[in-house]
Chains A and B, each alone.
Chain A
Amino acid sequence: GNSVTQMEGPVTLSEEAFLTINCTYTATGYPSLFWYVQYPGEGLQLLLKATKADDKGSNKGFEATYRKETTSFHLEKGSVQVSDSAVYFCALIQFYFGTGTSLTVIP
């Protein structure tokens, strides 16, 4: 069946460090993939999406590429900021979410 496996946290990085949060999925066909971000006390917000193989989603310096051959959708950012501190969720269509990865960026 469909599922999402996400890298466990928490992750702590210094400002300007490189970020990778791993996400792999199991699915049939070509379902859409999403990354959402949740700031403290708020609901989830869409960060980026990809709808087919080799698509690259990007937003606010974050990127993720839909890789069919490795069934992965890893989230990356070249230089994190304190304001990126949040919980990040990988999602497969609208029904399957990862467990979330908490990121803390320290000055």
Chain B
Amino acid sequence: DVKVTQSSRYLVKRTGEKVFLECVQDMDHENMFWYRQDPGLGLRLIYFSYDVKMKEKGDIPEGYSVSREKKERFSLILESASTNQTSMYLCASSLGDRFNQPQHFGDGTRLSIL
């Protein structure tokens, strides 16, 4: 069965820490995405990547960066965590084809910044 795996289900960090969220997919997908999910706001795109070492900003990239050194792995980095980054983070992947393909999602990481 196809799978997107996020490294942690729950994570608690302190303000100012550098935080890494990891995502791995086993489907050989070209595209990978990071979203945050907040009540009443739905999913908002942080960054996406359409190839190894390629990245594009989404709607809310401020305070985040990403890394894609291998096709199967896409990391989200909070450079200096702040309390307003407390949220649910979802990783997704998909085949290429101009972003018209359905996405496969991980189960999410619920991140709390204290």
Tell whether B43 is near chain A: CB-to-CB under 8 Å: yes
**Whole-angstrom distance between the Cβ of B32 and the nearest chain A Cβ:** 11
Among B40, B45, B107, the residue within 8 A (CB) of A43 is B107
Among B33, B100, B107, the residue within 8 A (CB) of A32 is B100
Kindly state the separation between the CA atoms of A44 and B99 in the bound complex, as whole angstroms. 17
Please tell me if the beta carbons of A100 and B42 are within 8 angstroms of each other in the complex.
Answer: yes
Interface residues of A (CB under 8 A from B): 6, 31-32, 34, 36, 41-46, 49, 51, 89, 93-95, 97-100
Please tell me if the beta carbons of A51 and B100 are within 8 angstroms of each other in the complex.
Answer: yes
Please tell me if the beta carbons of A93 and B107 are within 8 angstroms of each other in the complex.
Answer: no
| Neighbouring B residues of A93 by C-beta, 8 Å | 99-100
Max chain B C-beta neighbours (<10 A), residue from A43, A89, A98: A43
Please tell me if the beta carbons of A97 and B42 are within 8 angstroms of each other in the complex.
Answer: yes
Interface residues of B (CB under 8 A from A): 4, 31, 33, 35, 40-45, 48, 58, 90, 92, 94, 99-108
Interchain Cβ contacts under 8 Å between A and B, 9 examples: A32-B101, A43-B4, A43-B107, A46-B103, A94-B101, A97-B35, A98-B42, A99-B42, A100-B42
Please tell me if the beta carbons of A95 and B45 are within 8 angstroms of each other in the complex.
Answer: yes
Please tell me if the beta carbons of A46 and B102 are within 8 angstroms of each other in the complex.
Answer: yes
Among B41, B90, B100, the residue within 8 A (CB) of A44 is B90
Please tell me if the beta carbons of A99 and B100 are within 8 angstroms of each other in the complex.
Answer: no
Residue in B closest to A6 when the chains form the complex, CB atoms: B42
Kindly state the separation between the CA atoms of A16 and B44 in the bound complex, as whole angstroms. 33
| Neighbouring A residues of B100 by C-beta, 8 Å | 31-32, 51, 93-94
